[in-house]
Amino acid sequence: MKILVLGGAFGDEGKGGAEGAILLNNYYLEKGQKYGFVVRYHGGANAGETWINPGGIVVFSHQVPVGIGMDGLYAAFLSGGAILPKDPPEYKPKEYRPAGLMEEIKDLREKGIRVDKTNFGISGRNQVVLLHHLMEETDAEAAKGKTGFGTTLRGISTMYAAAAYKQGMTFAEFVGDNFVPILRDRILPAVHIKFGGKYDIPLDRYVREYEELREYLSEFLVPEADLMRRINRPETNVLQAGCQSIGLDVYNGANRHSSSSVTTRPPLNTDITLALFKFPQSEVGDRRFTHDGAWVTYDNKVSEVMRGERGDLGGEYGTTSGRPRKLDFNDTVLYRHNILVGKVNRVGLTKMDEMPKFVANFGTHGSIPICTAYKYRDSTLTDLPDDSQVLEKCEPVYGEWRVGRDFLDPKRLSRIKLFSELTENSLDSLRRLQDHLGGEVKIDILSRGPGSDEKIFRDIEL
């Protein structure tokens, strides 16, 4: 069985917690079966996930897949990713969590989580973020001023651009014997010509900067072909996880408000594709919500009421950046689009434990507003426009979703583990939401907290 888990909107949907729960409970598998592999692909250290491992340790994952250290599970980072070996402090705001690969592995080992070549491998075909990528992205973001997208300054976009220009370096090249000649003869001359010397860095600095990193990370190098042979066997159970959410896909996301990676192209064919949606919808960075008629500010009413406290597992702050997230009403036009382009057939709903507060502050008679269409001039649009200028001029058309009674009773909800324990009123509420999402997807998982044991799994037909 090949399972794919994706964020359904703009990120921060609680994907790490859902992945951990699926792995721990072997959800979607026949009785007695277990997952043998967890696979991360595309994106990189700009995308963080929070999960709680079987020992109760809170883990912040950036490049090492969720599930690392679990018995019998092999974690792999397949091609298409952006490997950040080190997180130089001069190229990131001080509140950001360390996200360099060596730092992340050391942190996991200090927490007693096993990470070695027997349970973690990195495809040699991943690209590597180098010093000049970090410098270039920092300058590019600063130059955009108020029109910047709020990048995490991890050099991801500039690394992908370099790869497209045939000026990138693969992970195999980074840890291999040809590191110096590739830099000297191919990459650094091209950088000098392209930027007129602005990002010239002496070769010996690269050698000094990466000497320890290259030796430390070399044990995790695995040829892409070897990984694919092992993972793609019909009898192998694999959980795939895209680093980014569908709404950030560079080709299929919400127009120019996207990242640099291709979330909707997983390395393996999938049997089940699960997309996660959160109540309320959130985003980190300086993009706007697609359904809003103006830029969403960080101090709007929904954000103010629902954000929570910094440092809390349920607080709405970026796992990587630590920045406050913008919150707003959920946009089912965006969701229907992402379900289509992501080939989604299953849905999970997160932050259901926050629903009483959401309804109390923004609901009417047990219903909450959700965007069901866009208004553009004299037309009503039910699909996401392909033209970014049209999209930015759209205004939201709101309907209502009547929330099931179980989701408004925290004590009762905390005891529920299966859909069969929900009242008919709550099941009917989920059916109505499925209709808003296009009617062809099934809601499979509800999250009532960050822990892997705080998930409600579907065991009956809806």
Note the pLDDT of residue 373: 93
Confidence of residue 294 (pLDDT cuts 50, 70, 90): very low
Name which residue leads in pLDDT, 243 or 318. 243
Residue 272 lies in a domain: no
- The rounded radius of gyration (Å) of the Cα atoms in the chain is 22
The most distant pair of C-alpha atoms in the chain lies apart, rounded to whole Å, by 68
**129-156 per-position pLDDT tens digit:** 999 998 888 887 777 665 555 666 778 8
Contacts of 195 (CB under 8 A, 6+ apart): 136
Number of domains in the chain: 2
Name which residue leads in pLDDT, 140 or 237. 237
Q: What is the mean pLDDT of residues 336-347?
A: 95
Q: What is the mean pLDDT of residues 63-91?
A: 87
Name which residue leads in pLDDT, 303 or 161. 161
Confidence of residue 258 (pLDDT cuts 50, 70, 90): low
- Both 295 and 433 in one domain: the answer is yes
pTM: 0.91
Residue 109 lies in a domain: yes
- Both 214 and 342 in one domain: the answer is no
- Both 222 and 336 in one domain: the answer is no
Kindly report the average pLDDT of the chain as a whole number.
87
- Both 222 and 288 in one domain: the answer is no
How far apart are the C-alpha atoms of 279 and 149, rounded to whole Å? 23
- Both 341 and 205 in one domain: the answer is no
How far apart are the C-alpha atoms of 103 and 126, rounded to whole Å? 18
Confidence of residue 228 (pLDDT cuts 50, 70, 90): very high
- Domain boundary (231, 262, 293) is at 231
Domain span at residue 83 reads 2-231
- Both 212 and 359 in one domain: the answer is no
CA-CA distances (angstroms) from residue 371 to 138, 335, 386, 457?
Answer: 35, 10, 18, 26
Confidence of residue 128 (pLDDT cuts 50, 70, 90): very high
Residue 243 lies in a domain: no
Q: What is the mean pLDDT of residues 273-290?
A: 76
- Both 146 and 289 in one domain: the answer is no
CATH code (residue 20): 1.10.300.10
Dihedral of CA atoms 38, 41, 47, 49 in degrees, nearest 10, equals -10
Confidence of residue 293 (pLDDT cuts 50, 70, 90): very low
Residue 372 lies in a domain: yes
How far apart are the C-alpha atoms of 74 and 69, rounded to whole Å? 8
Inter-helix orientation angle 203-217/131-144, to 10°: 110
Give the residue among 151, 382, 398 at the shortest CA–CA distance from 261.
Answer: 151
Residue 275 lies in a domain: no
Residue with tokens 């397949």: 78
How far apart are the C-alpha atoms of 288 and 31, rounded to whole Å? 44
| One-character DSSP codes across 245-310 | -GGG-TTTSSTTS--SS-TT--SS--SEEEEEEESSEEE-SSPPPTT-SSPPPTTSHHHHHH---T
Note the pLDDT of residue 295: 39
- Both 172 and 308 in one domain: the answer is no
Q: Which of 15-24, 62-71, 97-106, 391-400 has the lowest mean pLDDT?
A: 97-106
- Both 207 and 320 in one domain: the answer is no
Residue 240 lies in a domain: no
Q: Which of 49-53, 84-88, 135-139, 242-246 has the lowest mean pLDDT?
A: 84-88
**Is the preceding omega at residue 280 within 30 degrees of 0, hence cis?**
yes
Note the pLDDT of residue 10: 84
CATH code (residue 394): 3.90.170.10
Residue 267 lies in a domain: no
- Domain boundary (169, 202, 231) is at 231
- Both 299 and 171 in one domain: the answer is no
- Both 91 and 187 in one domain: the answer is yes
- Both 27 and 161 in one domain: the answer is yes
Note the pLDDT of residue 297: 43
How far apart are the C-alpha atoms of 405 and 427, rounded to whole Å? 10
Residue 301 lies in a domain: yes
